[in-house]
Amino acid sequence: MQLKRADVVTGALALLDTDGLDGLTMRKLGARLGVQAGAVYWHFKDKEALLGAVADRIVGEITETPLDPGTWDAQLAEFAHRFRRALLAHRDGARVVAGTYVTEPNTVQGGELVMRILTDAGFPLDRAGWAIFAGMYYVLGHTIEEQAQQAAGDWEQRAADVADTELLQAMDGAIKADPEERFAYGLELYLDGVRLRLAQAQQ
């Protein structure tokens, strides 16, 4: 059976989940799919192009179902939580998406959805993109750290190297907190800033 582009992306996601981003190579992917690496390159000119398609598949999970009706900030929060869950669904998912800059269909659809939420609320179009970038990189940054923390293991052992006791006390509480609660707190700080800028734009 002829290897299809979608099959390559599916195989790459499976390899990502087992071996992580650093273990995802074109050679290993070809072996997993039962083909020579050249067959993979037939669909993707290089690993960067492949990762772009993998990233787009990951973010496609965000818009599979419509957002719940509600206020603009409630919808923005729901989108952000979906984004985080989609990244967490795959090993190194946040690193994959953060390392790509693509205009694939799912990525564009997600961006258009957030843009419309902001502009329908009255946010100026010339700053909507800036707000989208700020929110996107908060989600990516938090989730990269979250996945790295899971991989790093014991915090207590690493905390012994922190000499500043006040810093240790501050970070200890944050690192030991439930990741979803910590994420929601930072997201609310971001939304507070968007609300402030929206109010200023409407004056």
pLDDT at position 103: 84
Whose tokens are 């979803």? That residue is: 180
CB of 83 closer than 8 Å to CB of 62: yes
Q: What angle do CA 133, 9, 26 make, to 5 degrees?
A: 105
Rounded to 5 degrees, φ, ψ at 193 are -65, -40
Domains in the chain and their CATH numbers?
Answer: 5-45 (1.10.10.60), 72-201 (1.10.357.10)
CA distances from 124 to 67, 109, 115, 119 (A): 22, 20, 10, 6
Q: What is the tens place of the pLDDT at every residue in 185-197?
A: 999 999 999 999 9
pLDDT at position 164: 59
Q: How confident is the model at residue 163 (pLDDT cuts 50, 70, 90)?
A: low
Q: How confident is the model at residue 177 (pLDDT cuts 50, 70, 90)?
A: confident
Q: What is the tens place of the pLDDT at every residue in 49-102?
A: 999 999 999 999 999 999 999 999 999 999 999 999 999 999 999 999 998 887
Please name the residues in contact with 110: beta carbons below 8 A apart, sequence gap of 6 or more: 59, 62, 63, 79, 83
